[in-house]
Amino acid sequence: MLNLLLSGFLVTASPFTVLSIQTQQSSIPAIEELRGGEFGAAVIDLETGDILASTGSGSFPLDDPDLFMLAYTVELMKNNSISPDTIVGRDETMAERFRRAFNGNREAAGRAMWTVGLESLSAWVAANGMEDTELHDIQLQWEGAPQTAPSMSSWEDVAHVLQIIYSGMNMPSVVEIIDNPDMGDGQASEVAQGWDLYGWVDAGEHHKTFALIALSPEGRKLGLVLLDNNLCCQNKGDLAMMLLWRAATQL
């Protein structure tokens, strides 16, 4: 019945986090000049909401909407409408379900979507003005599973939900969910060395998505968003992420 509870709460959920992201004029030439794919990227100052640099436009594939599910749930947690320790089935708490989903467990992600409700989630996205985002159900991986269309979004909308998630990092359960994102073994694994890194990485057939929160020992708090499509190879996404990180450290 929890999914029905969240659906009923939608009317009051949308105003909890009001963001006013101001886009600066800095570009990211290294990514703009990169061949072998289409890219949208941004660096966000998470303390002010300012976009420090950006490039690209339009919508890109995310495959599954895990990041948006978590942002919606963070707002519910902040309003005390649901607890991360709520048992949502199979002796599994809300926080455990999301942690497994962020670790790549598509069955857990499907259960998280059942908890949240695709209709409620999509309505919340629309109510928050994220017009470039189109969400679809989780693509399960068992043989014969129904095929779903990939979710789509823009770097602007992903920056929006990334800041919502950052605003919930005073809750240990949120930190646990997004801690230690799988950066792989390529060039992206070198990103944010010496910083605390949190977030979400998603790889599909022709894309590799990064939505990261990087906290420096000196107190700097950056959001890093990289969306792409039609990559010539997975390594191209890693290279773009490294270029984005280098640009961020020079701002």
Give residue 16's pLDDT band: very low, low, confident or very high (50, 70, 90).
Answer: very low
Express the helix, strand and coil content of the chain in percent, nearest 5 each.
40, 20, 40
Q: Which of 25-34, 152-161, 212-221 has the lowest mean pLDDT?
A: 25-34
Q: Which residue has the tokens 């890194």?
A: 197
- 124-175: pLDDT as tens digits: 999 999 999 999 988 776 677 778 888 999 999 999 999 999 999 999 999 9
Instruction: Put residue 56 in one of left, alpha, beta given phi > 0 → left and psi -120 to 50 → alpha.
Output: left
For the chain, give the percent of residues with pLDDT over 70.
89
Amino acid at 45: D
Among the listed residues 93, 240, 228, 227, the one whose alpha carbon sits nearest the alpha carbon of residue 173: 93
pLDDT at res. 20:
46
Q: Is the pLDDT of residue 1 over 70?
A: no
Give residue 74's pLDDT band: very low, low, confident or very high (50, 70, 90).
Answer: very high
Q: CATH homologous superfamily for 2-221?
A: DD-peptidase/beta-lactamase superfamily (3.40.710.10)
Instruction: Put residue 40 in one of left, alpha, beta given phi > 0 → left and psi -120 to 50 → alpha.
Output: beta
Can you tell me the distance from the alpha carbon of 184 to that of 179, in angstroms, rounded to the nearest whole number? Answer: 14
| Global pTM value | 0.89
Mean pLDDT of all residues belonging to the chain:
87
Convert 173-192 into a string of H (helix), E (strand) and C (coil): HHHHHHECCCCCCCHHHHCC
